[in-house]
A and B are shown apart, each in its own frame.
Chain A
Amino acid sequence: MSLTADVLAHGILPGIAAGFLVAGLSVTAMSLGGLVAGLVVALGAGALSRATGGREDSTLAALYLVALALGVVMISMGAGSVELTNLLFGSVLGVDDPALLMMAGVATLTLLALALAWRPLVLECFDPSFAAAERAGGGLWHMLFMGLVVLNVLAAFQALGTLMAVGLMMLPAVASRHWARGVGGMAYAASSIAILSSVAGILASYHLDVPTGPAVVLAAGLAWLVSVLAGPVEGVLARVLRRRHLAG
């Protein structure tokens, strides 16, 4: 899953670059380009690995490297290094009203869609062959989820940049494993960690004058480190301060 998010995040870069080459720094054009590219990559990766019989992760890794390189080359053809840095690493000061509205819209849509698709998504992750045997439409839900990932990466790239957007997706999710044992609790933990690290990262970025994307991801990384050390579920500290085993 983490690799999939990586691929989608970098997969949208050529699309964004194409939008940028055609229309300049326009949110609409870049988002449209990114959306098309992201959906092509999302649907293409699955189909490609099925058709070639290759392992999905090697196909994904190949796609992601090619897409990243292609995107960087395309942007470099039309712009200087400042724009390139902004697209790759984000600049929160570049977020204007349309971009803000898009982020809020995508966040709302994602929350609703996840609430609706929660049960089939959990089933598809846990036991895909049961899902298939029960005709639960697992593939369709999987596609919906991929679509949501594309939309979220797209909404995030303005502020965080395409390289850093995945960080905010993955780190809180990885950290949440140390705070809850159920997938529901993990979702709450991950959201909380993401919110905290976003606020902390943006403040740090403003006051210390560092790029926003890396600042937010570093904050999330710090949260992950704290979780690994001090989280109640399989945390390092819990292991060191081992309590006496139970009687039965």
Chain B
Amino acid sequence: MSGAIRLRDVTLSHERHPAVHHLSGEFAPGSLTAVVGPNGAGKTTLLRAIAGLHPLDEGRIEWPEGRIALLPQMSALDRSFPIACLDVALLGHWSRTGAFRAIGASERARAETALEAVGLGGFSRRPVGSLSAGQFQRLLFARLLVQDAPIILLDEPFNAVDARTAADLLRLVREWHGQGRTVIAVLHDLDLVRREFPETLLLARDPIAWGGTEEALGAANRMRARMMAEGWDAAAVPCERAA
């Protein structure tokens, strides 16, 4: 469906402190990869950079043709905003409708179908403020369905949702994988990752391991990740490693 996303010696930082340090590798087309690591390991920053939302300090990212859909962490949205569920799903059409083009019956029908597919049939007119965290996450997945992008980035998609919602949403992720889309998900549940994700990138600012999940999540790698994630060194000197 699309080419690989290639990272070449990518460094991303917040106020010069690296969040992702000299990362190279590629997400193969159609791959299903989990990005795992301790808090503050740069996982979200990496997703945002792949989506083109975080400037690169060094290195570069090569994108294949095709749109990228990003599921942000739920906390990044204003969940009390007075907007109806159907309108949120309709936002998924943005790349085609933009700010001005009309939204017709077929777009509306696709958004309704997406709402039904995530188990929110009949919720069209409900304001998002009345949804639970799990229902809200289902709604964001409906928007992803409408977006229909070949590359899908998920930031902690199963946080704060119950087991049944997680299972339903996971089924959608499996479907996307089956359709040959490239899916990258930031996750914390290692059992889930071992069960469902063939590939894993273990990140602790510096890349620890990237490859088959079983190997990447081996005990030695996980120990190393824990050691690396010591946090913010206020007296850090400029990195000397050649770019």
Contacts and interface: CB of A to CB of B under 8 A. Distances in A.
A129 B76 contact: yes
A117 B81 CA distance: 18
A116 B83 CA distance: 18
Interface in A157-200: 177, 180-183, 186
B81 A133 contact: no
B52 to A, nearest CB: 7
A133 B53 contact: yes
Given A117-B99, A120-B99, A182-B127, A125 B81 contact: yes
Interface string B59-100: 000000000111010001110011110011001001100111
A132 interface: yes
B7 interface: no
Contacts of A133: 51-53, 68-70
A130 interface: yes
B142 to A, nearest CB: 13
B70 A127 contact: no
Nearest to B68: A133
Contacts of A183: 81-83
A181 B127 contact: yes
Given A117-B99, A126-B77, A130-B70, A136 B82 contact: no
User: Which residue among A120, A123, A129, A132 has the maximum number of chain B CB atoms within 10 Å of its CB?
Assistant: A129
Contacts of A180: 82
Interface residues of A, number: 24
A119 interface: yes
A122 interface: yes
A177 B80 CA distance: 11
A132 to B, nearest CB: 5
Contacts of A136: 94, 98-99
Contacts of B129: 181
Contacts of B53: 129, 132-133
Nearest to B95: A134
A181 B84 CA distance: 9
A133 B63 CA distance: 14
User: Which residue among A53, A126, A181 has the maximum number of chain B CB atoms within 10 Å of its CB?
Assistant: A126
Contacts of A186: 82
A185 to B, nearest CB: 8
Contacts of B76: 127, 129
Nearest to B127: A181
A123 B82 contact: no
Nearest to B147: A134
A72 to B, nearest CB: 36
User: Which residue among B52, B76, B91 has the maximum number of chain A CB atoms within 10 Å of its CB?
Assistant: B91
Given A119-B99, A133-B51, A133-B52, A127 B82 contact: no
B78 A123 contact: no
B70 A182 contact: no
B70 A129 contact: yes
26 contacts: A53-B15, A119-B99, A123-B91, A123-B94, A125-B81, A126-B78, A126-B88, A127-B72, A127-B76, A127-B77, A129-B72, A130-B91, A130-B94, A133-B52, A133-B53, A133-B68, A134-B94, A134-B95, A136-B94, A137-B99, A141-B99, A177-B82, A180-B82, A181-B129, A182-B83, A183-B82
Given A116-B100, A129-B72, A130-B72, 15 more contacts: A123-B91, A123-B94, A126-B81, A127-B72, A127-B77, A129-B48, A130-B70, A130-B91, A132-B53, A133-B53, A133-B68, A137-B99, A141-B99, A182-B84, A186-B82
Interface of B: 15, 48, 51-53, 68-70, 72, 76-78, 81-84, 87-88, 91, 94-95, 98-100, 127, 129, 143
Kindly list the 5 A-B residue pairs having the minimum CB-CB distance in the complex, ordered from nearest.
A126-B81, A120-B99, A129-B72, A133-B70, A134-B94
